[in-house]
């Protein structure tokens, strides 16, 4: 019973982190699916989302508004708007002018953008860790108080539910809406979609905006869950989310979700049963193994050579 | 662009050389190397504030042997790679005395360069024993060692008769070094160590670690490392209802831990150098800091002040600004400083330095624990 509770606790920890990895991974995978480039500045967009949310929360608090649902919704909307415009602007400034050139050029442009945004926040907000207010506190406890107690906090529940809503909305959007259909068309064949009258530039911008908005959601959730943010935290999260996207099959949206969850659980079980020191070793070994046996990732489709 | 890069480079280096030559004439340059930016910049602030004050006061009293001290400041971001770059540029700039670095992991690689290039270094903050273990002639410190701080923490924990103790560290030189010292002390006293584990500095999610601590049913957790990670561990532990007492070294004892951990920082135990700013003989100095609007209570302010003063006193006693002569004077002399009477052993460590256990409060204040 004890061991089972311990295992479930580590599983919950892993799924919590994993679902936020998934939210960030969507941005990588959608952009890759459509224009075949890796947007290295995506982690920074997520970090900017978290900063915006924190600024909004602090702003509301100074205005005397503390009603939790309102604070969360306003913070979420602010973060999504700022991050989306940032995502849009990054594409417009750094990627569109070099689109269609050699593959390395947009990649380098993306790395440059990532460094630029990171240092911009360093300068604007300072390099110190900033505490994030714990807005959602408390939770459920399972098990008897004298032995190991499993805890499921309201914050973790919020993360699960929000992720679930975002993922379902995205799936519906991609499969049902006009823009979603256009997205799928563009990812299959950009040139052909263009010929058929789809405004591909708009669709590509839309992908960046959607990815950035989801990253902003993750930024707010993780900021509250962890308790502090700093200008570098987008980099590490971005790396993990990118790994999740590759693990699940880059270019595939369900793959990104699956990859995120697997990565989160693998990390948490490694820390729980081996040692926290091996966390990254195990998750990256997992990545290498999967890529050895299934180079396109778990749910990725093999790339058909287009003639 | 028609100007060739080569020409430009020649022009720039020539002008730098001119500037350096101009400075070297009648001044003694003191390099101050530490983090001005980055996650531990607040400790750097203490270091710079203390060293600047000492330079100012020594100059106001006529300088050293008629020459003025000039502070030259360098930012190493508490990054070992950056520290090496800083050390090299400091040597290039012709600086012969350094107050720094702050982080042990920066001090170690930088000190190799200083020793080779004949630069005298006094670190006001690096506590890793390794730094003075290599038989270097020009390396000193104005702070104690992990091997002194570890036993103080270990003995304190042991005196509380804990059932089981967990030790966590950030795998960096400072954190792991001090955690190892605590573990050895506890083991020698027969206390059961339930866990000895590293985390990655910069990580934000400690839920797995905390679950593990709960499972291990520990009543004391010692953390070797800095405040950004411990702050998050405290906060996440409180949310997960982990009921254990936390303790850490002086690297966690600053007010930033309160902004991260909030209420959860209440009751944290910290080993710190004694509050030099509360000593009666330092009150005049404290007023000088307050007059400038600076806070002298940080653990590294007066150690940095002392480092500058020791360089000045060493030069006076040696009657020369040759680093090797000054080092000899420091090794043999006895000096009265704001942190007490300083005497050095042959390794460059102070013969005595005391650490005290404090209890930290959620408003950022601290009270000594007996």
At residue B9 the predicted structure's pLDDT band, cuts being 50, 70 and 90, is low
List of chain A residues whose C-beta atoms are within 8 Å of the C-beta of residue B232: 226-228
pLDDT higher than threshold 90 for residue A141? no
pLDDT higher than threshold 60 for residue A267? yes
Terminal CA-to-CA distance of chain B, rounded, Å?
70
- Distance, in angstroms, between A226 CA and closest chain B CA? 6
CB of B158 within 8 A of CB of B185? yes
- Distance, in angstroms, between A251 CA and closest chain B CA? 27
Distance CA B262, CA B107 (A): 31
Residue B239 to residue A155, Cβ atoms within 8 A? yes
Same domain for B52 and B183, yes or no, is no
Mean pLDDT value across residues A200-209: 93
Is B120 within a domain? Answer: yes
Tell me whether A260 touches chain B (CB under 8 Å).
no
What's the pLDDT at A110? Answer: 92
Tell me whether A24 touches chain B (CB under 8 Å).
no
Closest CA in chain A for residue B210 = A272
Closest CB from B39, B212, B241 relative to A230 = B39
Closest CB from A149, A271, A280 relative to B241 = A149
For chain B, the three-class secondary structure string (H helix, E strand, C coil) is: CCCCHHHHHHHHHHHHHHHHHHHHCCEEEEEEEECCCCCCHHHHHHHHHHHHHHHHHHHHCCCECCEEEEEEEEECCCCHHHHHHHHHHHHHCCCCEEEECCCHHHHHHHHHHHHHHCCEEEECCCCCHHHHCCCCCCEEECCCCHHHHHHHHHHHHHHCCCCEEEEEECCCHHHHHHHHHHHHHHHHCCCEEEEEEECCCCCCCCHHHHHHHHHHCCCEEEEECCHHHHHHHHHHHHHCCCCCEEEECHHHCCCHHHHHHHHHHCCCEEEECCCHHHCHHHHHHHHHHHHCCCCCCCCCHHHHHHHHHHHHHHHHHHCCCCHHHHHHHHHHCEEEECCEEEEECCCCCECCCCCEEEEECCCCCEEECC
Residue B236 to residue A227, Cβ atoms within 8 A? yes
Closest CA in chain B for residue A265 = B208
Closest CA in chain A for residue B212 = A272
The mean pLDDT of chain A is 89
At residue A138 the predicted structure's pLDDT band, cuts being 50, 70 and 90, is confident
Based on the structure, what is the number of domains in chain B?
Answer: 2
Is B214 within a domain? Answer: yes
List of chain A residues whose C-beta atoms are within 8 Å of the C-beta of residue B241: 141, 149, 151
At residue A72 the predicted structure's pLDDT band, cuts being 50, 70 and 90, is very high
Tell me: the pLDDT tens digits for B101-135? 999 999 999 999 999 999 999 999 998 888 999 99
At residue B5 the predicted structure's pLDDT band, cuts being 50, 70 and 90, is low
Same domain for B79 and B11, yes or no, is yes
What's the pLDDT at B22? Answer: 44
Residue B228 to residue A228, Cβ atoms within 8 A? yes
pLDDT over 90 percentage in chain A: 57
How many contacts does A have with B, using Cβ atoms within 8 A? 104
Q: Please enumerate residues of B whose Cβ is less than 8 A from a Cβ of A.
A: 37-39, 41-42, 171, 197-200, 202-205, 207-209, 211-212, 214-215, 217, 228, 231-232, 235-236, 239-241, 256, 259-262
pLDDT higher than threshold 60 for residue B24? no
At residue A37 the predicted structure's pLDDT band, cuts being 50, 70 and 90, is confident
Tell me whether A122 touches chain B (CB under 8 Å).
yes
What's the pLDDT at B49? Answer: 94
- Distance, in angstroms, between B45 CA and closest chain A CA? 12
What's the pLDDT at B167? Answer: 95
Mean pLDDT value across residues A62-77: 91
Same domain for B169 and B183, yes or no, is yes
What's the pLDDT at B28? Answer: 92
Stretch among A183-187, B16-20, B225-229, B321-325 having the lowest mean pLDDT: B16-20
Domain of residue B176: give its range: 147-272+356-368
Closest CA in chain A for residue B41 = A128
Same domain for B15 and B74, yes or no, is yes
pLDDT higher than threshold 50 for residue B207? yes
Is B161 within a domain? Answer: yes
Same domain for B180 and B258, yes or no, is yes
Residue B38 to residue A272, Cβ atoms within 8 A? no
Indicate which CATH number applies to the domain containing B152.
3.40.50.2300
Mean pLDDT value across residues B221-227: 94
Mean pLDDT value across residues A168-186: 92
Same domain for B140 and B152, yes or no, is no
pLDDT higher than threshold 90 for residue A205? yes
pLDDT higher at B184 or B147: B184
At residue A290 the predicted structure's pLDDT band, cuts being 50, 70 and 90, is confident
Same domain for B250 and B363, yes or no, is yes
pLDDT higher than threshold 50 for residue B21? no
Residue A276 to residue B209, Cβ atoms within 8 A? yes
Same domain for B197 and B111, yes or no, is no
Mean pLDDT value across residues B353-364: 89
Closest CB from A16, A151, A276 relative to B198 = A276
Same domain for B80 and B190, yes or no, is no
pLDDT over 90 percentage in chain B: 62
Mean pLDDT value across residues B76-97: 94
Closest CA to B306 of B348, B275, B335: B335
Q: What angle, 0 to 180 degrees and rounded to 10, lies between the N-to-C axes of helices B104-117 and B80-92?
A: 30
Same domain for B139 and B9, yes or no, is yes
What's the pLDDT at A149? Answer: 81
Tell me: the pLDDT tens digits for B131-176? 999 999 999 999 988 878 888 999 999 999 999 999 999 988 889 9
Stretch among A82-96, B19-33, B231-245, B259-273 having the lowest mean pLDDT: B19-33
What's the pLDDT at B111? Answer: 94
pLDDT higher than threshold 80 for residue A228? yes
Same domain for B305 and B254, yes or no, is no
At residue B179 the predicted structure's pLDDT band, cuts being 50, 70 and 90, is very high
The mean pLDDT of chain B is 88
Residue A129 to residue B205, Cβ atoms within 8 A? no
The structural domains of chain A, with segments of one domain joined by +, span 37-109+153-229, 232-300
């Amino acid at each position: 019973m004890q061991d089972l509770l311990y295992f479930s606790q580590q599983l919950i920890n892993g799924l919590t982190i994993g679902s936020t990895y998934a939210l960030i991974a969507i941005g990588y995978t959608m952009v890759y699916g459509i224009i075949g480039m890796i947007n290295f500045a995506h982690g920074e967009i997520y970090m900017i989302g978290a900063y915006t949310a924190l600024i909004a929360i602090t702003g509301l608090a100074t205005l005397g508004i503390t009603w939790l649902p309102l604070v969360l919704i306003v913070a979420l909307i602010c973060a999504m708007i700022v991050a989306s415009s940032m995502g849009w602007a990054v594409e417009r400034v750094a990627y569109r002018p070099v689109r269609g050139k050699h593959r390395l050029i947009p990649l380098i442009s993306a790395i440059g953008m990532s460094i630029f945004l990171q240092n911009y926040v360093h300068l604007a907000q300072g390099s110190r860790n900033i505490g994030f207010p714990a807005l959602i506190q408390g939770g459920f406890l399972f098990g008897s108080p004298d032995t190991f107690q499993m805890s499921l906090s309201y914050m973790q529940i919020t993360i699960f539910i929000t992720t679930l809503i975002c993922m379902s909305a995205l799936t519906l959007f991609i499969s049902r809406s006009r823009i979603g259909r256009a997205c799928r068309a563009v990812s299959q064949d950009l040139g052909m979609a263009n010929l058929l009258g789809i405004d591909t530039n708009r669709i590509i911008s839309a992908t960046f905006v959607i990815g950035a908005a989801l990253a902003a959601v993750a930024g707010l959730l993780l900021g509250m869950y962890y308790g502090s943010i700093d200008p570098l935290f987008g980099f590490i999260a971005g790396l993990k989310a990118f790994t999740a996207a590759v693990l699940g099959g880059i270019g595939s949206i369900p793959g990104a979700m699956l990859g995120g969850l697997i990565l989160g659980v693998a990390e948490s079980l490694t820390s729980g049963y081996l040692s926290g020191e091996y966390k990254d070793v195990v998750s990256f070994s997992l990545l290498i193994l999967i890529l050895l046996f299934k180079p396109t990732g778990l749910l990725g489709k093999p790339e058909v050579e287009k003639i | 662009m028609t100007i060739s890069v080569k020409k430009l480079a020649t022009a720039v280096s020539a002008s730098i050389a001119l500037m350096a030559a101009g400075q070297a004439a009648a001044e003694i340059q003191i390099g101050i190397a530490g983090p001005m930016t980055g996650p531990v910049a607040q400790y750097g602030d203490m270091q710079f504030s203390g060293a600047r004050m000492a330079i100012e006061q020594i100059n106001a009293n006529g300088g050293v042997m008629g020459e003025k001290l000039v502070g030259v400041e360098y930012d190493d971001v508490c990054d070992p790679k950056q520290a090496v770059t800083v050390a090299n540029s400091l040597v290039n700039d012709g600086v012969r005395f350094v107050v720094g670095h702050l982080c042990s992991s920066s001090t170690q690689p930088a000190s190799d360069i200083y020793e080779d290039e004949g630069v005298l270094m006094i670190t006001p903050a690096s506590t890793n024993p390794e730094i003075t273990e290599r038989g270097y002639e020009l390396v000193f410190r104005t702070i104690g060692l992990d091997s002194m701080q570890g036993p103080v923490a270990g003995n304190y924990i042991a005196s509380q008769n804990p059932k089981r103790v967990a030790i966590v560290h950030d795998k960096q030189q400072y954190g792991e070094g001090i955690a190892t010292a605590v573990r050895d002390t506890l083991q020698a006293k027969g206390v059961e160590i339930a866990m000895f584990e590293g985390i990655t500095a910069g990580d934000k999610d400690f839920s797995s670690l905390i679950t593990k601590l709960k499972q291990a049913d520990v009543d004391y957790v010692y953390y070797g490392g800095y405040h950004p990670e411990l702050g998050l561990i405290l906060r996440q532990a409180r949310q997960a209802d982990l009921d254990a007492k936390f303790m850490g070294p002086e690297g966690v004892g600053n007010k930033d831990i309160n902004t991260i951990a909030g209420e959860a920082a209440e009751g944290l135990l910290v080993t710190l150098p004694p509050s030099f700013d509360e000593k009666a003989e330092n009150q005049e100095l404290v007023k000088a800091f307050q007059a400038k609007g600076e806070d002298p209570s940080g653990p590294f302010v007066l150690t940095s002040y002392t480092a500058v003063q020791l360089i000045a006193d060493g030069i006076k006693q040696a009657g020369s600004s040759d680093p090797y002569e000054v080092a000899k004077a420091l090794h043999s002399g006895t000096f009265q400083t704001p942190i007490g009477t300083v005497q050095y052993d042959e390794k460059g460590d102070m013969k005595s330095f005391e650490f005290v256990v404090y209890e930290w409060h959620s408003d950022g204040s601290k009270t000594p624990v007996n």
